[in-house]
Amino acid sequence: MYAGLWRLLPGPWWVRLLIVLIVVSAVLYTLFYYVFPWVSPIISPGEIDLE
């Protein structure tokens, strides 16, 4: 699967790597600044009792 995605990206390997790093950074930014704060009140890790 990853090899197929890698072949779809344009340019030489260093351009592909740059594209992948930018996309991964954008996804992580979106998760940390929008998704996780929105989900945090719904899923409280402090309410879990493992005993």
Please give the average per-residue pLDDT across 31-48, as a whole number.
81
**Per-residue pLDDT tens digits for 5-22:** 889 999 999 999 999 999
pTM of the model: 0.71
CA 12/CA 35 separation, integer angstroms: 33
Please give the average per-residue pLDDT across 32-51, as a whole number.
77
CA 35/CA 16 separation, integer angstroms: 27
pLDDT at 50 over 60: no
Domain ranges of the chain: 2-39
Q: What is the mean pLDDT of the chain?
A: 87
pLDDT of residue 47: 62
